Amino acid sequence: MDFISNSDTQINEMLKSIGIKSIEELFSDIPESLKIPKPTIDDGLSESEGLDLMQKLAQKNSFASYDSYLGGGAYEHYVPAIVASICSKSEFLTSYTPYQAEASQGMLQIIFEYQSAICALTGMDVCNASLYDGASACAEACLMAMRLKKEKNVLLISESLNPHYRGLVNQYLKSHSVIIIDIPFNSSLEIDSETLDAHLASGNVIGFLTQSPNFFGTVEKLKPISEKLKQKNALFLLASNPLSYGIFASAQELDVDIAIGDSQPFGLPLAFGGPYVGYLACKSEFVRQMPGRIVGETVDSNGKRGFVLTLQAREQHIRREKATSNICTNQALAALATLVAIMWYGKQGVKELSLTNYQRACYLKENLKSIPGTTLFNPETTFNEFVVKFDKPLEEIQCIFRKNGIEPGISLNRYYPALKNSLLIAVTETKTKQQLDKYIEVAKECCK
């Protein structure tokens, strides 16, 4: 099938009007040797056949039948019903980047509100219209920091930063002459502050990129670190799950310079990793080095309030090779989903949702740590996630859990060989007491 409106009659009228006999003539600039034969048999599908095909593929995924405790940057949260309803509106779903502002006030105001919502959560001054995901937000933040501190050449990065984020940071920085120094974590999975101090002493540090809650779920003690960075005139780049800002110190309270992360926990389903949405917010003095689109408020010729894409002199379509980034299409509709979810929870709901996530994860964590045969790596404050080491081989443990319909967590072997036989276990508000009690029961069985 196809979605072409014109019938053969209209096609013939158009050919006649152009003054040609066949559509083929329009392709005369293409060398004959490059032309491929026109398919003669209709090998398409009807809509119902297509749906059937997709349903069969979806059914080949058995994952939905498990109780999942996987996190690591992608979290299973309840998505309020209103999110899909708003995001599927034709005027949003089928519009382009708002180049013609007067016909795009809806989307422009949405982006303005999204920027405002991220600023409210993080406490930062300004936020852009979105980046692709958490990884690209981290990578762009590093490039931004390098532009802001051109005279320096060392970037410190926590080893407890999500390894999937770190992978893209390495990719983006590959062709730059910056020196990256890894800051390790200690035995309780917190930043090793002695190593950090030692590297900060050199005085050549652009900034420090860390994550809190970190990849292991540990909420880092960042206030003293932030002060040290300020003393050394180094920038503080903090990646965070925006939901954690519901109960933990805002980026502004921690004197962060560039706050980044992935807003997936608000309004975006797991969907095998995307689309999610990266956020990047910063202090106002850095706005002109920000990557990506930004929406600002202005007035029309009658003095009426309106919104436009602004500060575009930073962007690729104007500055070309001198732009702050190559990003063009971003994640607008995913940003809308995030906005709707944040607003549905609102001022009080975001706090309660955050606390609910904290408490349910605590419940499982506290109950697991007392089981003989397990070791809890991060006994201090964690959010959503924590790391448990099992005395038995992990494959054995995973097998028992899976037989019980549970996907118990992310194996850390692949990421950190030193954390062998350990699981990164994520709990969100979606887990009931019954489900968590079952997890505890199966864990006991595993450790017998």
Partner 1 sequence: MTSQTLFEKSEKGQRAYSLPKSWEELKTYIPDAFLKRDGDIPLPEISELNLTRHFSGLAHKNVGIDNVFYPLGSCTMKLNPRINEVCASLEGFVKTHPLAPEETVQGNLQLIVELIEILCDLTGMTAGSLLPNAGSQGEFTGLQMIAAYHQKNGDLLRDEILIPDTAHGTNPATAAMSGFKTVNFKSNKNGDVDIEELKRLISPKTAGLMLTNPNTVGIFSPQILEISSLLHSAGALLYYDGANLNPLLNVARPGDMGFDVMHINLHKTFSTPHGGGGPGSGPVLCNDKLKDFLPTPYVLKRSGRYTIEWKKTSSIGSIATFHGNFAIYLRAYIYAKLHGNYGLRKIAEVAVLNANYLKSALGKYFTIPFSQHCMHEFVLQADNYIDRDIKALDIAKRMLDYGVYAPTVYFPLIIKECMLIEPTETESKSTLDRFIDIIKQICEEIQTNPTIVKTAPHTKSVTRLDEVRAVKNPILKHVT
CB 192, min distance to partner 1, A: 19
Beta strands 205-211 and 235-239, pairing class: parallel
CA distance 129 to 312: 12
Least separation in angstroms between residue 203's CB and partner 1 is 27
Q: Is 27 helix (H, G, I), strand (E, B) or coil?
A: helix
Q: Quick one: 199 or 291, whose CB is closer to partner 1?
A: 291
CB of 196 to partner 1, least distance (A): 18
- Look up residue 426 and give its DSSP letter: E
Q: Which is nearer to partner 1, 185 or 245 (CB)?
A: 245
Q: Dihedral (C-alpha) 136, 183, 220, 406: value to the nearest 10 degrees? A: 70
Q: Which amino acid is at 197?
A: D
- Nearest approach in angstroms of CB 359 to partner 1 is 4
Please, how many CA atoms are within 13 Å of residue 258, restricted to the half-sphere of its CB? 31
We find the least distance from the C-beta atom of residue 431 to partner 1, in angstroms, to be 9
Nearest residue (CB) to partner 1, 236 versus 345? 345
**CA–CA separation, 157 vs 169, rounded Å?**
10
Q: Which CB, 27 or 230, lies closer to partner 1?
A: 27
Beta carbon nearer to partner 1, 72 or 265:
72
Q: What is the CA 435 to chain-centroid distance, rounded?
A: 27
How many Cβ atoms from other residues are within 10 Å of residue 320's Cβ?
9
Cα 325 from Cα 290, distance rounded (Å): 8
For partner 1, the closer CB: 74 or 199? 74
Q: Which CB atom, from 364 or from 446, has the smaller least distance to partner 1?
A: 364
CB of 190 to partner 1, least distance (A): 12
Task: Find all residues with CB under 8 Å of 446, minimum gap 6, and list them.
Answer: 373, 390, 392, 396, 397, 400, 401
Three-state secondary structure string covering 109-120 = HHHHHHHHHHHH
Q: Cβ-count burial of 38 within 10 angstroms (0-12 exposed, 13-18 middle, 19+ buried)?
A: exposed
- The minimum distance between CB 187 and partner 1, in angstroms, equals 19
Shortest CB 362 distance to partner 1, Å: 4
Q: Are 241 and 265 in contact (CB under 8 A)?
A: yes
